[in-house]
Amino acid sequence: MLNMIIDAHTHVFSPRLIAGREEYCSSDACFGLLYSNPAAKLNSAEDLIRSMDENGIAKSVIQNIGWVSHDACIRSNDYILESISKYGDRLIGFCAVQPLEQEKAVDEIIRCGKGGAKGIGELRPDIQGFDLCDLNTMKPLMQETAWLDMVVSLHASEPAGHNYAGKGHVTPEILFKFVSNFREVKMVLAHFGGGLPFYELMPEVKGILANTFYDTAAAPLLYSASIYKVVIDIAGPGKILFGSDWPLLAPQRATEHIKTAGLNPAELSSILGGNAQRLFNPEENKVLYGR
């Protein structure tokens, strides 16, 4: 029997932003890179809820993007917080931050945590212009994130394979160094971590990645279905989170890709919802704000 299906990687935008698409494409490098193509879909939280109902998705994580400006982060976070307040039983929110803003970014993490957000990300250091491995930049943010028991989501880039809009250069080498610096922080690396889980064959790497998870966002566009069994054999069934990257991919296409992998019922249940339920269960991630 499958657990509820939880989509750990989706993106939503406010109706106001959708209506002003051209303006945002010209004013923000990350948004422009991802959405300047008119074929790239932009959808609201209400659109996502309808898609979830049609595809049997119980809950979804609504991730943000790597906005370059702090003000853009705030505006987008406001909509994320509004959406999780409205659909608290269906949506889990992640907020955007610009680490270069230092204290402002820390304050934004606190604000979003108080507003119910469960994580920050997707961080995109190569587009946002910060060094993911610079301790002076990242330590204050990661300390606050760990204190609030929030999850960090990072876009990950495959060092091989075809190019695509937004692929970037955040490769396993960079991601591993970052995780090594902040191994106490719970992290989700998108797109199977750009291949990082393969290095869990090394015992010392496996230990450092103990709090690191990999989502399956856009997997049908990147890997054959054998990826699921391979990563399970290397890293274990508890490390993979189902993510569609909606609206880039329909949840049905993403789930069908997983279901062709020949997984046993327990493995399938863990990936499609069990692992995310444990990671994001509010009863297991209570935060006290009384400093």
Q: Which domains does the chain have, with CATH numbers?
A: 6-280 (3.20.20.140)
In this prediction, residues 16-37 reach a mean pLDDT of: 96
pLDDT digits (tens, 9 = 90+) for 101-146: 999 999 999 999 999 999 999 999 999 999 999 999 999 999 999 9
**Six-digit token string for 125:** 């250091």
What is the C-alpha separation between 140 and 134, in angstroms, rounded? 11
pLDDT digits (tens, 9 = 90+) for 182-206: 999 999 999 999 999 999 999 999 9
165 — pLDDT class (breaks 50, 70, 90):
confident
pLDDT digits (tens, 9 = 90+) for 51-76: 999 999 999 999 999 999 999 999 99
- Selected residue with higher pLDDT from 290 and 46: 46
**Dihedral of alpha carbons 123, 126, 132, 138, sign:** negative
In this prediction, residues 213-221 reach a mean pLDDT of: 96
Q: How many helices (H) and strands (E) does the chain have?
A: 15, 8
Residues 6+ apart with CB under 8 A from 184: 146, 211
- Selected residue with higher pLDDT from 291 and 209: 209
In this prediction, residues 207-236 reach a mean pLDDT of: 97
Q: What is the dihedral of CA 125, 242, 244, 161, to 10 degrees?
A: 60
